[in-house]
Amino acid sequence: MRRWVRALAGLIPAAGEPLDFTELRSLEGMRRAQGLMSIGLISSATLAIWAFMGVAPLLPWLCAMLVTFALHSHVVSSLPDRGVRRQLLLPVATLVISGLAYIAGGMILWMQDEPGLSILSLMFIFVALLNTLSYRVQMRLLLVLDLSLMGIGVFARAGWLWYAAPGAADTMLVSTALVICYLYFCRVAWNVLRTREDLEAAARAALAKARGRAMEQLTGGVAHDFNNLLTAVLGNMELARLSRSASERDELMDEAERAARRGAELTGQLLAMASCARLRPVTMSASEALHGLSKRAGDLMTPDHKLSVEIAPGLPLIRVDGPRLQTCLLELLSNARDAMPDGGAIELRVQPSGAGVCFELRDHGSGIPADLLPLVCEPYFTTKPVGEGSGLGLAILRGFAEQSGGTFKLAKPDFGPGTCARLVFPAAADQSKAALGPAGAGPQPRTARVASAAE
């Protein structure tokens, strides 16, 4: 008994405690989308049974069920994002009413004393079981309500058997089987709920641990970098103070100034990584955004590397900071070059992605191990040898994408080796205002073109 009390703890929130209704709306929204198909099937079956078997009560039942389903959907969709406990009363009431209406339909078929209709009545329970395992098992309150309503339907069927044929062998066998199956399903559904809650708790703990590691890595990296820069600044200033040569003092002060500027540059990188950089977004086409990229990429790659750029026709305009976008793409090209030290093909495709534009860059190197893919965009994480990578490039790139309203993802290609990087930006709100771009840019060719360092 105590175990059940502990299991039901937290089912009803405390009075005055703010509640988040977004999960309830999303779950009932998914059920509503699936329920439209179910209503169509149930309505078709109901009309067929009414037409061919003459079960007259099914028509008013169908109308009542449709009304209660629509009422519950409207009440749930009207819930705010956050509220208090009393705002749950109306959704719970409409859920119970719609559930009772559904039970009534099964009972109408069960009471006809026809084997075929009895099987259809049991199908009502089977559909309810699937609905519970698919949607309601994700929240304790919904699960308890569903199991309670299901219990009413099961015990109502068993009670009708005892009313119609008390003490008969079939009555005892069928009613016992119904109750045992219902209790077993309750145990299974509750175990599924608890397993899901345990997995979510473990995932939250793992996420918190990962965030802690990321914060440690970030603070350690920032402290190390700034310590080096401050050492250079203070050391050169101290030496300049002790020096008696004006030219030597100037040289030392210049070195201190360069270190200070590197600190300012690092601060800008950290702001970009945190999506707080000062951007100058302009509405432009994809070809304008890539103007001059092949020439700049040629300075990064060896003659053995070849870059192909393909821009799909009819792409919408995007609103981004063009120079920052090219800097991000050059960072990806640099990584692709390092992934193929012996040379190879690097493909940059610009194609539609939903209502936006996707810049997809793929190399044919050895690829990133699956266990490292979730980590490569973390600050100060790098797979390059010591001294060859700062660990900020991809973190800055992700920050730029998010600040621009887009996304950045690294993944394995659909086929073959290598790594596929995708930068996705939403379409500009005003598609009629295209930026002129750099002087003489003009529209670039929309067919694939190849550039290499030799060109």
Q: pLDDT tens across 278-306, in order?
A: 778 889 898 888 888 888 888 778 888 88
What is the model's pLDDT at position 272? 57
Strand residues in 354-447 grouped as ranges (E): 356-362, 407-411, 420-426
**pLDDT above 80 (res 329):** yes
Mean pLDDT for 409-437 is 78
Cα separation of 291 and 295, whole Å? 9
Average of per-residue pLDDT values in the chain: 79
Rg (CA), the chain: 33
Structure tokens at 364: 């044919």
Lowest-confidence pick of 30-44, 72-86, 435-449 = 435-449
**pLDDT above 80 (res 377):** no
Mean pLDDT for 168-183 is 90
Mean pLDDT for 125-140 is 79
Lowest-confidence pick of 27-41, 94-108, 407-421 = 27-41
Strand residues in 219-316 grouped as ranges (E): 282-284, 305-311
What is the model's pLDDT at position 434? 45
| Intra-chain end-to-end CA distance of the chain, in Å | 80
Instruction: Tell me the three state secondary structure of residue 378.
Output: coil
Mean pLDDT for 127-133 is 81
In percent, how much of the chain has pLDDT > 70? Answer: 80
Lowest-confidence pick of 50-54, 146-150, 206-210 = 206-210
Q: Which runs of consecutive H residues, i.e. helices, occur in 19-167?
A: 22-53, 58-77, 89-110, 115-134, 140-164
Mean pLDDT for 391-410 is 82
**pLDDT above 80 (res 146):** yes
Cα separation of 273 and 43, whole Å? 55
Q: 276 versus 339: which is more confidently predicted?
A: 339
How many Cα neighbours within 13 Å face the side chain of 292?
12
Q: 212 versus 193: which is more confidently predicted?
A: 193
In percent, how much of the chain has pLDDT > 90? Answer: 8
Cα separation of 186 and 395, whole Å? 47
**pLDDT above 50 (res 444):** no
Cα separation of 91 and 178, whole Å? 29
Sign of the Cα pseudo-torsion (170, 176, 178, 184, in order): negative
**pLDDT above 60 (res 390):** no
Structure tokens at 32: 């509503």
Mean pLDDT for 361-389 is 71
What is the model's pLDDT at position 350? 92
Structure tokens at 13: 């929130």
Task: Assign 183 a pLDDT band (cuts: 50, 70, 90).
Answer: very high
pTM across the whole model:
0.51
Angle at 263 between CA 260 and CA 265, to 5 degrees: 115
Please write the tens of the pLDDT for every residue from 65-98.
Answer: 889 888 888 888 888 888 777 888 888 898 899 8
How many Cα neighbours within 13 Å face the side chain of 165?
12
Q: 142 versus 359: which is more confidently predicted?
A: 359
What is the model's pLDDT at position 450? 35
What is the model's pLDDT at position 274? 59
Residue 405, C-beta contacts closer than 8 angstroms, at least 6 positions apart: 425, 426
Mean pLDDT for 309-329 is 88
Cα separation of 172 and 176, whole Å? 6
